[in-house]
């Protein structure tokens, strides 16, 4: 009789323990991108994903952020390695690709198609996506810039994605935040990018896991 009486309590305790463990599991986010997130010419830990994870944890979010940035990658390259770059355990993806397409003058239509395919394949896997926008360099001309710059807001609207309009906002055209090549962020530039993108990333996280912490909650 005692076993019958206590069994439901034991099972309830186990269920609560399992729910607690699930709630305490860090949100696994993959940043899929190019050299702007890979940490080009930066010391270990100075890359955007590492700094973003630190900032989010300081703000009270339990996250684990993986760096899936590959220097030189285009949208085509990101699509080709999507399946092995984003494991099934991922809870979300921050998608940052397209800068190299613009630098090489590749077709904006093809870049849009590649990004669309990445988004759709992640949606098929039930992995939410946040899109980091990019802008074409001025030397590509007004017509090219108009076509390329429209890619990100159009995709965000089509798929209902969280969008940060320009990933390099506050760093582009600011030499003090760039490496000598005038294109990539230095360590201080990464700090600026993290600070600027943090509110948008926090909102994205809360849309995935509403019970997430954070000082702004």
Instruction: Check if 184 is active-site.
Output: yes
Annotated catalytic residue: which of 35, 50, 85, 212? Answer: 35
Annotated catalytic residue: which of 34, 66, 162, 184? Answer: 184
Helix, strand or coil for residue 34?
coil
CA distances for 139 relative to 5, 58, 103, 145, angstroms? 77, 40, 9, 9
Nearest-angstrom CA–CA distance, 55 and 195: 8
Helix, strand or coil for residue 167?
coil
And the tokens for 41?
């010419």
Query: DSSP assignment, residue 63?
Result: E
Instruction: Check if 174 is active-site.
Output: no
Alpha helix (H) residue ranges in the chain: 2-24, 35-38, 48-58, 75-80, 82-85, 99-103, 108-124, 142-149, 151-159, 187-208
Residues 39, 102 contacting (CB under 8 angstroms): no
Which positions are catalytic? 35, 181, 184
């Amino acid at each position: 009789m005692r076993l019958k009486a206590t069994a439901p309590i034991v099972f309830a305790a186990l269920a609560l323990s399992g729910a607690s463990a699930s709630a305490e599991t860090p949100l696994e986010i993959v940043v899929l991108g190019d050299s702007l997130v890979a940490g080009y010419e930066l010391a270990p830990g100075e890359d955007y994903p590492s700094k973003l994870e630190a900032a989010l944890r300081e703000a009270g979010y339990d996250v684990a952020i993986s760096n899936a940035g590959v220097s030189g990658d285009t949208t085509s390259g990101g699509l080709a390695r999507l399946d092995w770059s984003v494991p099934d355990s991922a809870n979300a993806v921050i998608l940052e690709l397209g800068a190299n397409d613009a630098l090489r003058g590749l077709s904006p239509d093809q870049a849009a198609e590649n990004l669309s395919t990445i988004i759709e394949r992640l949606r098929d896997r039930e992995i939410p996506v946040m899109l980091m926008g990019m802008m074409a360099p001025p030397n590509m001309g007004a017509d090219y810039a108009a076509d390329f710059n429209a890619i990100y807001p159009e995709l965000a609207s089509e798929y209902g994605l969280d969008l940060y309009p320009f990933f390099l906002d506050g760093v582009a055209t600011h030499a003090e935040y760039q490496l000598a090549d005038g294109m990539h962020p230095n360590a201080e530039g990464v700090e600026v990018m993290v600070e600027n993108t943090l509110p948008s990333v926090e909102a994205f996280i809360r849309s995935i896991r509403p019970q997430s912490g954070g000082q702004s909650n």
